[in-house]
Amino acid sequence: MGLKVNNISKSFKKVNALEQVTFHIKPGELFGLIGPDGAGKTTLFRILTTLLIADKGSATVAGYDVLKDYKSIRNNVGYMPGKFSLYQDLTIEENLTFFATIFGTTIEENYNLIEDIYVQIEPFKNRRAGKLSGGMKQKLALCCALIHKPKVLFLDEPTTGVDPVSRKEFWDMLKRLQTKGITMLVSTPYMDEAALCDRIALIQEGKILEIDTPKSIVKHYPKPIYNVTANNTYKVITSLNMYPFNHSVYPFGEHVHYTDKRDSFNIKELHNYLEQNGLKNITIQKTKATIEDTFMELAR
Amino acid sequence: MFGDFIAVNAINFEVKKGEIFGFLGANGAGKTTAIKMLIGISHPTSGNATIAGFDIYKNTEDIKKNIGYMSQKFALYDDLTVRENITFFGGIYGLSRKRIKEKSTTLIKELGLEDVSKNLVGSLPLGWKQKIAFSVALLHDPKIVFLDEPTGGVDPITRRQFWEMIYKAAHQGTTIFVTTHYMDEAEYCDRVSIMVNGKIEALNTPKKLKSQFNVESMNDVFLNLARG
């Protein structure tokens, strides 16, 4: 059960969309695929849901082979694509009935699985899907992906374009689904959502950079990081970029994250340098690496 | 006001020259309505506003000449080349042919796009497109540039290069007005306002908002406010 991906490669014309991707997901695990647009996340989802055939490698989903057992996979997985793909002209209830019917089941049969999500949109069940807000569309899409009680659920950027309140609610729903034994693969470009997964794979340009738990993945960051601030952020960035000992300089919200090439980095020395560049109210403090720092260091 | 629905209710704020101002709100909070009024394509039911010194009732044409706009959804024509896009938007903004030529050359050089200037924009990675789109929004040296979710989905390194460009423009005196519901973008702004149901419920620096709500991220500030 769970999911196994072994050395999957796929290219389109000149572009290598996926290069030797390997990872295993345990049954019941909530696994995150974290990477920007164009990293290859959707291509991988399409291969695992049997909508696309890989050039090389093999994969099994819930124990079924993506090539030989594609029909069994289709009956045992739920797929929520990144782009809203329900019938806009059908109502909430009609969409859900439609998906239940094509999988040979009924809403009543698996209602317990979708109940706590569906009750939130049920008051609008006669409204057409095309007339729903982003948050409601997302809840309906999740219900439709769950109505046949899949063993594995694929969620491709489910929270893109959704505001923080709906995002939080969505992740709470995924956590509750996990208690019902469903294995989940979820992709997202948001590094803050990575922290909510059991394990994550960082992916860029078709390659897996690292796989680990969100807590442990930051331990792969090799250097101490310093938060630098002063009275003018733009001048902090340009000054640090010209500092001959910099290893990396990245704006990070109200701070700038700085790492040094040398093993023996001297805060005072950098402080003086910034002062000479006309900066005031300088602070330099050691900080912890985030998942995003780790991603950038690995992607360099 | 639309029918009985009050989209934006008596909002007041001021943005300084050269400031990076974040305009935040949940889906449907009234952000788009507010912006349409600010750029002169929709009139408020009551109240007044000036943009770069121009009145939003009387001087709508002056406003349009003095603002730049870039959105995540639409910014450039995919089936025009990089250079054609620059020429097209330069023309729209009323720049002379000579000026467009100069601007194109500097812009392409600054962004390191010499090798792809004759490629269709549609063939370029998202991060590059966003950088070009931002530069194009600045072509006519606007006093204010409106950015709508400018870095959503872009890889973390390119996103930071993008913020460096924003900081640079602000440093040179351009006012930057960012609307977004990506709270990590909010962290980069000098000040942010948060709209809930048509009203501005908070307006301060990210640092002060975080300490006011005693939380670690703008995401948590937002969740606190939007949930009431």
The rounded percent of chain A whose pLDDT value lies above 70 is 100
Q: A159 or A55: whose pLDDT is higher?
A: A55
What is the CATH classification number for the domain harbouring B144? 3.40.50.300
**Considering only alpha carbons, which residue of chain A is nearest residue B29?**
A163
**What pLDDT, in 10s, does the model give residues A127-155?**
999 998 888 898 999 999 999 999 999 99
Both A64 and A191 in one domain: the answer is yes
Both A244 and A197 in one domain: the answer is no
The CA-atom distances, in angstroms, between B111 and each of A242, B107, B116, B129, B145 are: 19, 6, 11, 11, 19
What is the CATH classification number for the domain harbouring A16? 3.40.50.300
Task: Calculate mean pLDDT across residues A36-48.
Answer: 91
For residue B146, what are the domain limits? 20-39+60-227
Q: What is the pLDDT of residue A168?
A: 87
A35: nearest Cα among A202, A214, A215: A202
Last residue of a domain, one of A218, A233, A262: A218
For chain A, how many structural domains are there in total?
A: 2
Q: What is the pLDDT of residue A159?
A: 85
For residue A252, what are the domain limits? 221-299
B26: nearest Cα among A174, A132, A121, A135: A135
Task: Calculate mean pLDDT across residues A243-253.
Answer: 95
Degrees to nearest 5, angle at CA A116 with A110 and A120: 120
Q: B46 or A39: whose pLDDT is higher?
A: A39
What is the CATH classification number for the domain harbouring A270? 3.30.70.2070
**What pLDDT, in 10s, does the model give residues B149-196?**
888 777 888 889 999 999 999 999 999 999 887 888 899 999 999 988
Q: Is the pLDDT of residue B72 over 80?
A: no
**What pLDDT, in 10s, does the model give residues A158-213?**
988 778 888 888 999 999 999 999 999 999 888 888 999 999 999 999 999 999 99
- Best B167, B168, B184, B194 residue to mutate vs chain A (most A CBs within 10 Å): B167
**Considering only alpha carbons, which residue of chain B is nearest residue A234?**
B167
Is residue B105 in a domain? Answer: yes
Q: What is the pLDDT of residue B148?
A: 85
β-bridge mates for residue A285, sequence order: A227
Q: Is the pLDDT of residue B29 over 80?
A: no
Last residue of a domain, one of A167, A187, A218: A218
CA distance B179 to B148: 5
Chain B contacts of A189, Cβ < 8 Å?
152-153
Q: Is the pLDDT of residue B52 over 50?
A: yes
Closest partner residue to B207 (CB to CB) among A250, A252, A254 is A254
Q: B127 or A174: whose pLDDT is higher?
A: A174
Both A156 and A212 in one domain: the answer is yes
Q: Map chain B to HEC letters.
A: CECCECCCCCCCCCCCCCCEEEEEECCCCCHHHHHHHHCCCCCCCCCCCEECCEECCCCHHHHHHHEEEEECCCCCCCCCEHHHHHHHHHHHCCCCHHHHHHHHHHHHHHCCCHHHCCCEHHHCCHHHHHHHHHHHHCCCCCCEEEEECCCCCCCHHHHHHHHHHHHHHHHCCCEEEEEECCHHHHCCCCEEEEEECCEEEEEECHHHHHHHHCCCCHHHHHHHHHHC
Is residue B191 in a domain? Answer: yes
Q: What is the pLDDT of residue B87?
A: 95
Q: What is the pLDDT of residue B5?
A: 56
Q: What is the pLDDT of residue B227?
A: 73
Q: Is the pLDDT of residue B2 over 70?
A: no
Both A71 and A193 in one domain: the answer is yes
Chain B contacts of A36, Cβ < 8 Å?
126-127, 153-156, 158
Both A129 and A8 in one domain: the answer is yes
Task: Calculate mean pLDDT across residues A71-95.
Answer: 93
Q: What is the pLDDT of residue A183?
A: 96
Both A119 and A257 in one domain: the answer is no
Q: Is the pLDDT of residue B92 over 70?
A: yes
Closest partner residue to A253 (CB to CB) among B156, B170, B206 is B206
Gyration radius from chain A CA atoms: 23
Last residue of a domain, one of A167, A201, A218: A218
**Considering only alpha carbons, which residue of chain B is nearest residue A292?**
B156
B139: nearest Cα among B115, B163, B174: B174
Is residue B54 in a domain? Answer: no
| Residue with token string 């094509």 | A102
**Considering only alpha carbons, which residue of chain A is nearest residue B207?**
A254
Chain A contacts of B155, Cβ < 8 Å?
35-39, 204, 299
Residue A299, both tokens: 């992607």
Q: Report strand pairing: A225-229 vs A255-260.
A: antiparallel
Both A133 and A267 in one domain: the answer is no
Q: What is the pLDDT of residue B74?
A: 67
Both A27 and A155 in one domain: the answer is yes
CA distance B110 to A36: 24
Q: Is the pLDDT of residue A289 over 70?
A: yes
Is residue B221 in a domain? Answer: yes
Mean pLDDT of chain A: 93
Q: What is the pLDDT of residue B189?
A: 95
Give the closest-approach CA distance of A149 to chain B in angstroms.
Answer: 31
Chain A contacts of B125, Cβ < 8 Å?
38
By the 10 Å C-beta count (0-12 exposed, 13-18 middle, 19+ buried), B94 is classed as exposed
Confidence class for position B6, pLDDT limits 50, 70, 90: low
Do A36 and B154 lie within an 8 Å CB cutoff?
A: yes
Both A189 and A256 in one domain: the answer is no
Is residue B34 in a domain? Answer: yes
Q: What is the pLDDT of residue B60?
A: 86
For chain B, how many structural domains are there in total?
A: 1
Q: Is the pLDDT of residue A83 over 90?
A: no
Poorest-pLDDT segment among A251-260, B147-156, B200-209: B147-156
Q: What is the pLDDT of residue B1?
A: 43
Torsion of CA A132, A135, A137, A142, to 10 degrees: -160
Both A78 and A170 in one domain: the answer is yes
What sign does the CA torsion over B57, B61, B62, B66 have?
positive
Is residue B49 in a domain? Answer: no
Both A208 and A235 in one domain: the answer is no
